[in-house]
């Protein structure tokens, strides 16, 4: 019995209370067993008394060895539960997207969200000169909307599921509007359009449709930093810069294009196309007919795709003429299935929040694939109906495009003049909502680290949010994008005062 008790304690079979009852029972044996031994014969005393008592006192003298601490059931259960703050694993692709929050774009957006300038509420806050938005002519659109807004939406036909690639009625007026933007020199076909919720999904669909993961598009740098997000994040396609410098006003030359293509091909990377903005973002330069013809000839010769972002087509300044790639295609016999246009209403009309993007292509397979994928990024029918009514008013649209161009030109010239007064130069621009300003002389040394230090100082100390050249893959440190169409005249004046104060003592 004592041996069984000993084994049960060591193995933890019995609970502590049960063991204590057994031990008290053994203590009683200290009196009972000797009496039984004396009555049990010659060896009764030895067998019935000495051996049991010796075993009992051995157990009592070694309590630490026998009475092992037993974990309570509740404690064992608590240890098995995983802490609630441990996150379940996610994909490497998603982690890469999260890491983008540490980019200058993400940092600037966070600062504007938490500390944006407001004349009344936050007069010392940061002024947004880093977001390319066109707010200069919203009053004209608001006036039109207040006049016609009550009669814009018809739910009888379009409240349910419709063609995700876009309403036919909207495509017709949108094609006519795009022709108007191009000066009436180009006719666009509604059947060659797929509508998406902004130019971002349009660009991503093209990357998905034209290249495999690991393959690449070439792009002249500096370029719009959002292309990294649009091309790389989900399609896993590479975007390789074609370096352009200040010695050519950041314009692409045939020599640099050819050498870059050759060098990248030698590395075993498959080049599927060239992506280019016209007007250029962030520089604001325009590609003329000669440059477009040369670019088109190069891509046709290499049998690679040409993707042209023309989203700033109506944002050219007075005295400057925009030429669409569609106009060049009409002049000679090209293989048009290699050419694709990206457009939208975010810049030319200032309707970024409406999320209207256009994929225009001469490739029937691309159009078929894009039409199917548009289900994931369709434009709402309410937005399409409203925009159909807006763009159908040709008299208003002609007036709007003329006035918007006048206002953009006036604002651009004012910004350049004011910057020159404080010792800041810029590249001559012909279009867009921004200018490419030169702060190389402010840097303590010509390095990207110094460029970022200056950018952070301007963002957090001076209260001016610009886009650093590093974000645009500019090889020359010290260049920044200055977006001038997102603020009103009063806010712009405050920005110039801050620039002037900083340039008087440019220490960072």
Is residue 271 within 8 Å of 421, Cβ to Cβ? Answer: no
Of 128, 309, 348, 438, the catalytic one is 309
- Are 432 and 281 in contact by the 8 Å Cβ rule? The answer is yes
Residue 316's DSSP bridge partners are 431
Measured distance CA(470)–CA(113) in Å, rounded: 22
Angle in degrees, CA 147, 150, 154, rounded to 5: 135
CA nearest neighbour of 58 among 128, 117, 5: 5
Tell me if residue 309 is catalytic: yes
How far is it, in rounded angstroms, from Cα 173 to Cα 384? 11
Orientation of helix 394-421 relative to helix 168-181, angle to 10° = 50
CA–CA gap between residue 273 and residue 281 (Å, rounded): 19
* Paired tokens of 104: 């200058």
Task: Determine which one of 105, 117, 223, 224 is catalytic.
Answer: 224
Q: How many degrees, rounded to 5, is the angle at CA 50 between CA 46 and CA 54? A: 150
Contact status, residue 48 vs residue 36, Cβ threshold 8 Å: yes
- Spatial neighbors of 59 by CB under 8 A, at least 6 apart, are 2, 5, 6, 23, 26, 66
CB 320 within 8 A of CB 405: no
CA distance 409 to 185: 23
Among the listed residues 311, 328, 342, 424, the single catalytic one is 311
What end-to-end distance do the CA atoms of the chain give, in Å? 85
How many residues in total does the chain contain? 508
The residue whose two tokens read 């997000």 is 229
Burial of 55 (0-12, 13-18, 19+ CB in 10 A): middle
Please tell me the distance from the alpha carbon of residue 427 to that of residue 437, in angstroms, as a whole number.
Answer: 7
Residue 35 Cα distances to 57, 59, 172, angstroms: 18, 22, 115
Q: Which residues of 409-436 are buried (b: 16+ CB within 10 A; e: fewer)?
A: bebbeebbebbeeeebebbebbbbbbbb
Q: Could you tell me if residue 116 is left (phi over 0), alpha (psi between -120 and 50 degrees) or otherwise beta?
A: beta
Q: Is 224 a catalytic residue?
A: yes
Count of beta carbons in the 10 Å neighbourhood of residue 366: 20
Q: How far is CA 408 from the centre of its chain?
A: 27
DSSP assigned state of 431: B
**Bond before 279 cis per omega within 30 degrees:** yes
Q: Among residues 128, 231, 347, 437, which one is catalytic?
A: 347
Indicate if 347 belongs to the active site.
Answer: yes
Active site residues: 224, 309, 311, 347
């Amino acid at each position: 019995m004592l041996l069984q008790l000993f084994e049960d304690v060591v193995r933890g079979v019995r609970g502590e209370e049960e063991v204590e009852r057994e031990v008290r029972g053994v203590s009683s044996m200290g009196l009972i067993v000797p009496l039984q031994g004396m009555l049990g014969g010659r060896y009764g005393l030895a067998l019935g008394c000495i051996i049991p008592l010796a075993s009992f006192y051995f157990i009592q003298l070694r309590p630490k060895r026998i009475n092992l601490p037993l974990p309570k059931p509740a404690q064992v259960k608590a240890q098995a539960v995983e802490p609630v703050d441990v996150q379940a694993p996610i994909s490497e692709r998603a982690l890469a997207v999260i890491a983008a929050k540490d980019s200058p774009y993400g940092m600037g957006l966070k600062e504007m969200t938490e500390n944006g300038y407001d004349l009344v509420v936050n007069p010392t806050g940061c002024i947004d000169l880093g977001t390319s938005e066109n707010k200069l002519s919203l009053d004209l659109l608001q006036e039109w909307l207040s006049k016609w807004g009550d009669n814009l939406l018809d739910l009888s036909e379009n409240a349910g599921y419709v063609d995700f690639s876009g309403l036919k009625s909207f495509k017709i007026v949108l094609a006519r509007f795009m022709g108007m933007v191009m000066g009436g020199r180009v006719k666009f076909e509604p059947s060659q359009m797929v509508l998406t919720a902004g130019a971002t999904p349009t660009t991503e669909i093209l990357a998905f449709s034209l290249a495999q993961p690991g393959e690449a598009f070439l792009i002249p740098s500096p370029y719009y930093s959002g292309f990294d997000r649009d091309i790389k994040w989900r399609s896993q396609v590479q975007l390789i810069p074609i370096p352009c410098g200040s010695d050519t006003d950041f314009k692409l030359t045939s020599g640099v294009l050819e050498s870059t293509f050759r060098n990248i091909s030698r590395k075993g990377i498959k080049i599927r196309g060239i992506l280019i903005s016209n007007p250029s973002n962030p520089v604001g330069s325009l590609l003329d007919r000669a440059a477009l013809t040369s670019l088109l000839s190069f891509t046709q010769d290499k049998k690679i795709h040409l993707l042209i972002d023309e989203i700033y087509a109506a944002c050219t300044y007075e005295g400057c003429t925009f030429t669409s790639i569609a106009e060049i295609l009409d002049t000679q016999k090209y293989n048009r299935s290699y050419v694709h246009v990206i457009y939208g209403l975010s810049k030319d009309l200032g309707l970024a929040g409406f999320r209207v993007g256009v994929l225009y292509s001469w490739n029937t397979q691309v159009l078929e694939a894009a039409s199917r994928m548009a289900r994931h990024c369709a434009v709402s029918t309410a937005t399409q109906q409203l925009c159909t009514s807006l763009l159908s008013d040709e008299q208003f649209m002609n007036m709007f495009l003329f006035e918007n161009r006048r206002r953009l030109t006036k604002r651009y010239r004012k910004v350049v003049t004011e910057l020159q007064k404080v010792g800041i130069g810029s590249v001559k621009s012909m279009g867009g909502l921004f200018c490419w300003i030169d702060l190389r002389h402010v840097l303590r040394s010509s390095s990207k680290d110094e460029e970022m230090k200056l950018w952070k100082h301007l963002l957090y100390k001076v209260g001016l949010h610009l886009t650093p050249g590093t974000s645009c893959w500019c090889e020359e440190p010290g260049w920044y994008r200055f977006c001038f169409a997102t603020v009103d005249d009063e806010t712009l004046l405050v920005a110039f005062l801050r620039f002037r104060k900083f340039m008087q003592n440019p220490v960072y």
